[in-house]
Amino acid sequence: MLICYNSWMDIIYTFALVLGVVFLFLFSIRKFSNQVSRVAGDRFKTTMETFTKTPWRGIALGAAVTAILQSSTATTVLLVGLVDAGTISFFNSLGVIFGANIGTTITSQLVAFNILKIAPYILIIGFFVDRTNSRWKKYGKSIFYFGLVFFCLALIAELIQPLSNDPRILTFFSSISNIFIAILVGVFLTVFFQSSTAVAGIVILLVAQGVLNFDQAFGIILGSNIGTTSTALIASSIMGKQARRTAVAHFLFNLVGVIIFLPFFDLFVSLIKLIDGSVAREVANAHLLFNLVNTVVFLAVLKPFSRLISRLVRDHKTAE
């Protein structure tokens, strides 16, 4: 795809195209999550109930479910609902929250490994499987929407490729001059799109195209970790105390994790640079390593953390 920018109107039109594809991307994530949940049926919730008895099992479950659904938002909103229903206790939900943050890094890794090149084939396979009368038919839509998720990212990569050499665009992104601005941008974008997966995937693409550097990209991803908690916070506002505790725990886990991490940012970057790979791979690895380290830190203080949340979030009418 060859695009030549001669005016700001050309750039605005391309941004409109990108935004349209981003909305299609968000739609495909939602449809993919719904299809996986439908195919799994009651077994999905039963698995959530069974595999949250210990923090480590909860982490493994949260990572797996988020990797499958391609959405930490879907995992945490589902989790908040199960806690509100009394199916999972607040304490047992913490491991799933930690794991969800790890699972959401899978998209970054897949994009960095260039899965986008096979996305059209996945989409085509899903289309035809859905139209067969075989026992695999029930998986057709899930395969199709999974392919569509990455097909959308492939389209975005094609659309933004010409931007990498446009001085006006580079000047605009250069305004993200430090890690704090980058974090704020990440929070805003994730709250706007309601998907940290979308933000992380697009950021990896922008890095690969040379539009963003490592510091800018990783700062935005850190901000997306905070912004992604907004959906569960909103959903839990009309639920019971335990559900609100789970949502607040998710928010504080991500926020405090970023705050604790910032003093060690330069040391962390030096460590990431020791791993061979492109800048896109470095950002994807940083995303994964940050969430792994954050999980280990909070596991060490799991009980005090849960007690703190219990004190912060009390009944509206009575105090515990």
Q: What is the pLDDT of residues 232-277, one digit of tens each?
A: 888 788 778 888 899 999 999 999 999 999 998 888 888 888 876 7
Does a structural domain hold residue 291? Answer: yes
153-188 per-position pLDDT tens digit: 778 777 766 666 666 666 767 777 788 999 999 998
Instruction: Name the domain count of the chain.
Output: 1
pLDDT of residue 297: 92
Token pair 């604790």 in the structure block, residue: 260
Q: Give this prediction's pTM.
A: 0.76
Does a structural domain hold residue 2? Answer: no
Token pair 């980058």 in the structure block, residue: 182
Does a structural domain hold residue 247? Answer: yes
Does a structural domain hold residue 320? Answer: no
Distance CA 71, CA 297 (A): 23
Does a structural domain hold residue 255? Answer: yes
Q: Which domain holds residue 194?
A: 8-312
Whether 3 and 162 have beta carbons less than 8 Å apart is answered as yes
Does a structural domain hold residue 319? Answer: no
Percentage with pLDDT > 70 across the chain: 85
Does a structural domain hold residue 21? Answer: yes
Does a structural domain hold residue 179? Answer: yes
pLDDT of residue 33: 64
